[in-house]
Structure 1
Amino acid sequence: MFLLLIVISINSYLLIKIGSGKPALLLAGSILISGGTFILLFIASGWRNQRSLQFEQLFNEYPIPMWIYEKSTLRFLSVNDAAIQKYGFSRKEFTEITLKDIRNKEDIPLWLNNAAERCNGTEYRGIWRHRKKDGTNFFVEIYSLPAIYFGKNARFIMAKDVDAEVKASKAAHELGIRYELLAQATNDAVYDKNLETNKVVWNHGLSNLFLYNNHEDTDLVQWWQKNIHPVDHARVTTSLTASIAAGFNYWSEEYRFQCADGYYKYVVDRAFIMYENGRPSRMIGMIQDIDKHVKQAMQLEEQNKTLKEIAWINSHEIRRPVVSILSITGLFDKSNQDRHLNSQLMEWLHESTQQLDDIIHKIEHKVKKLQ
């Protein structure tokens, strides 16, 4: 008895025979998977049960789902433990279903056409959506090679779970589309900042809101920092640095930003921060002009302050001369016998009346400020 081990590329043809029978030439195949190499070992030997068991153990215990299916019927001929665990079907259930049962109905026509065109005696690699027994969908990268299994025309399949990678790529693509649509549809200043190069790309909002042209000088982070109001600068830059250092995805601040004509506008800056391998890589944000709203809020606050002052004057200051006037008028000698007393009371009455008049003028002034 002899032992022959041959390692070949994905283009190699696999001849599989498991169990007792005549010796068969079996080759080892190597398939590249995301930067690593999967080595599938097939032993060329005078086959005996011990060798068959070794191969079956290797096949069953490999951590990536694998199976062999018959091309004509699409039925599973053999599945490994990883496939059973991943898809939720028992080994017996796998023998009773076909490849159609691990796909959504709407995907089957496209998959059948693809299989007919590209899985015809050659290797194949592609990304497809699969379905577990419980109905959960996930994306897999399929590696497929032709095979002969117990005399049946079959294919060997390895299905690597790439669901997280596909969804992350899809989310990034959709985010890019939303950014482009948003940049065109809004008058706000939308920016896309590369956090590794500090390069910033702005939309037309830069000229609409702040009267700047999108020339080279406006593409730098330093330019943005330079135009933040000096009083707000430290707070805003510190907040952004702290958010990135903490790994936050969302950042927002309100501050004053200088326009090309020198005027400072109140703005709100909101951004989404993306990371690659734990490092900040990209920041997409929007600067919105809230100057009018802030000024209105400040005006309302000032009006409320004035109204409170008027209310305090009415409840405190104006009562003092009014009480004095009422008291003085009650002291007059109506028979006019004591002219000296009446004269003194008239002076006091005049003073209190003058105080009341001053307070009324004070209230009038504050009312004009409200108007």
Structure 2
Amino acid sequence: MNKPEPHIYNFFFSEAERLLLASHLLNFGVWEFDFLHNRLIWDNKMHDIYGVKKEDFHHQMDDFRSRVHPEDLPGAEKAMDEIISTEAPLSAQFRIIRPDGVERIIAGNVKCIRNLLNQPIRLIGINHDITEQQLLQEELVHKNEQLKKIAWMQSHEIRKPVANILGLINLIDINQVDLHHHQLLELLKSSSEELDIIIKEIIQRTRESEK
């Protein structure tokens, strides 16, 4: 990253302090990059998230780059360049690989702090490990897909005997049975038709949920 020319700086210490306080409450890590001194700073939670010991941390952006998943690194670097050239805060999601080889999913937010001449002087960001949430979401999606398949299969399996019952009822000559059996057949037919409608609705809703 290019260093800006030294000018009068507006450091916004209160904003950094608020982030640090929020990090303890919300369990996310806070990091900061100082352009003037080319120095990266992590709080304790960032070290926990990335699994990097303080003695192995060199306060350089390479400490971050070396931990980002190779497939996600180009996008992360592009996003970092964009946040420097624009004033809008950035939100991103990416994977990291800790020194122990464990892969984690990170949600990050970063804001560029500028001086009175609108030059970037610092980046302040937060990282949150969302691995468990993502795995839970993927599990819920998987279970939902399984339920859809079960609903589809069961509805078709149930509809077969219902269709057979309706077919048999239609084969019976109602005029040839007494009043009592006539009423029973009518009740059986209406109940089967209602069940058939319910099954068709299940099939239709299953199809719609897959769109």
Structure 1 and Structure 2 fold alike (TM over 0.5): yes
Match of 1:269 among 101, 108, 119: 108
Match of 2:75 in 1: 235
Residue 223 of structure 1 corresponds to: 63
Partner of 1:259: 98
More helix by share: 2
Q: CA RMSD in A?
A: 3.1
Q: 1:10-21 to 2 correspondence within 5 Å?
A: none
Structure holding more strand per residue: 1
- The answer as to whether partners of 2:16 and 2:124 remain within 8 angstroms in 1 is no
Seen in structure 2, the aligned counterparts of structure 1 residues 315 and 289 have a Cα distance that, compared at 3 Å, is same
Q: Tell whether the 8 Å contact from 2:50 to 2:67 is kept in structure 1 after alignment.
A: no
Superposition pairs of residues 1-371 of structure 1, within 5 angstroms: 172-179=12-19, 181-182=21-22, 187-215=27-55, 217-248=57-88, 250-276=89-115, 277-316=117-156, 318-319=157-158, 322=161
Note if contact 1:228-1:257 (Cα within 8 Å) is conserved in structure 2: yes
> How many residues are paired up?
161
- In structure 2, the CA distance between the partners of 1:310 and 1:198, relative to structure 1 (3 Å rule), is farther
Distance in 2 (CA, whole Å) between partners of 1:244 and 1:185 is 28
Aligned identity (percent) is: 19
Question: Which whole-Å deviations, capped at 9, do the CAs of 1:237-287 have from their partners, x for residues lacking one?
Answer: 222222322232x11111111222111111111122111223221011111
In the aligned structure 1, how far is the partner of 2:114 from the partner of 2:106? 26
Deviation of 1:188 after TM superposition, in Å, equals 2.5
Task: Return closer, same or farther for 1:326/1:183 CA change in 2, 3 Å cut-off.
Answer: closer
* Aligned-pair CA distance for 1:324: 9.1
2:83/2:90 contact within 8 Å kept: yes
Deviations along 1:24-62, one digit per CA (max 9) or x if unpaired, are xxxxxxxxxxxxxxxxxxxxxxxxxxxxxxxxxxxxxxx
Equivalent-residue separation in structure 2 for 1:252 and 1:267 (angstroms)? 11
Partner of 2:54, secondary structure, is coil
- Do 1:268 and 1:288's aligned partners in 2 also have CA atoms closer than 8 Å? yes
Q: What letter corresponds to residue 267 of structure 1 in structure 2?
A: I
Deviation at 1:185, TM superposition (A): 6.1
User: Bigger relative contact order, structure 1 or 2, given CA contacts below 8 A and separation 6+?
Assistant: 2
Structure 1: where are the runs of 5+ without partners?
1-164, 331-371
Seen in structure 2, the aligned counterparts of structure 1 residues 224 and 173 have a Cα distance that, compared at 3 Å, is: closer
Stretch of structure 1 that moved more, 300-309 or 218-227: 218-227
TM-score scaled by length of structure 1:
0.38
Instruction: Give the Cα separation in 1 of the matches to 2:18 and 2:158.
Output: 64
